[in-house]
Amino acid sequence: MDYSYPFSIDWSTEEIVDVVIFFEGIEMAYEKGISREEMMARYRKFKQVVPAISEEKTYFKEFEEESGYASFPVIKELKASAIGPMIKMSR
């Protein structure tokens, strides 16, 4: 992992940690899978820090450019009907 996570200098340390934990969940969804419940909890905390959809899209794009992991498909899968207890994405 040779990339950085997107964040704003206006956020508190706790908010930065919440956003990093969210993006780590995105990584896990691609690498080994993550429980739907855990990913939803991470996404809810992320949305408390980044409530605007336009900002969300900006951070998702920055993260994908840095890491190669697309966040939107994970969130789409997360919001889909409860297909299973785990979210596991393929690249």
Dihedral sign for Cα 51, 55, 68, 7, please: negative
- The pLDDT, as a whole number, for residue 85 is 87
- The pLDDT, as a whole number, for residue 1 is 62
- The pLDDT, as a whole number, for residue 3 is 82
- The pLDDT, as a whole number, for residue 91 is 75
- 61-76 pLDDT, tens digit per residue, is 999 999 999 999 999 9
- Spatial separation of the C-alpha atoms in residues 11 and 50, rounded to whole Å: 10
Q: 13-81: which CATH architecture?
A: Orthogonal Bundle (1.10)
Q: Are 63 and 69 in contact (CB under 8 A)?
A: yes
- The pLDDT, as a whole number, for residue 81 is 63
Q: Where are the domains of the chain?
A: 13-81
Give, for all 91 residues of the chain, the pLDDT tens digit: 678 899 999 999 999 999 999 999 999 999 999 999 999 999 999 999 999 999 999 999 999 999 999 999 999 999 886 667 889 998 7
Q: How far apart are the first and last CA of the chain?
A: 16
